[in-house]
Amino acid sequence: MTKKKLEESASIVVECCPEETITFDAVHEILKDICSFVGVQGYIIKDEDTATINLEDSEKTVPYAMLVSQAFELAKELSQVSCLGEGDTLLLDCADLKVLCVKVNDVTVSIFMEKNVDHTKILNKLLSYTERLQF
């Protein structure tokens, strides 16, 4: 599979009706495109009923899934303790990895990338797709 540079990537246009909401399948299609960018190692997408994991290295599936699960739980606990309300975006900046975690309605997305990838460009790309749909 050929990796695309983020700046040179082709856009996916998500056609929708004004009353359409963000669904698991719509976000999954967006992630397939984002996963093709240079430095992106894969993603985990999950809603109440379904989860899909797409990682370059299948041996990292369990540790990465545990990492993001615990990160979301910790973030939830911290938001309750601090009385600041829930956040929708979480960035894990590890020694050799970055993980961008985003919650959109009932869909949670975790995008794994190399440390040198600009996560803000990935986030902006994801949000530019999803803003076409109703929140």
pLDDT tens, residue by residue, 14-67: 333 333 456 778 788 888 888 888 999 999 999 888 889 999 998 999 999 999
Quote the pTM value. Answer: 0.77
Tell me how far apart the alpha carbons of residues 21 and 67 are, in angstroms, rounded to a whole number: 28
| Structural domains for the chain | 16-130 (3.30.450.30)
CB atoms within 10 A of CB 27: 25
- Give pLDDT tens digits for 71-115: 888 888 887 787 776 667 889 999 999 999 988 778 889 999 999
Q: Which pLDDT value is given to residue 100? A: 93
C-alpha dist (Å) from residue 13 to 25, 31, 64, 78, 93: 14, 13, 30, 36, 30
26 Cα distance to chain centroid: 13
Q: Which pLDDT value is given to residue 130? A: 67
Residue 3 reports pLDDT greater than 70 = no
- Spatial CA neighbour of 104 closest among 83, 86, 77: 86
Tell me how far apart the alpha carbons of residues 21 and 43 are, in angstroms, rounded to a whole number: 21
Q: Which helix (H) or strand (E) holds 52?
A: strand 51-55
The model's confidence at residue 13, banded by pLDDT at 50, 70 and 90, is: very low
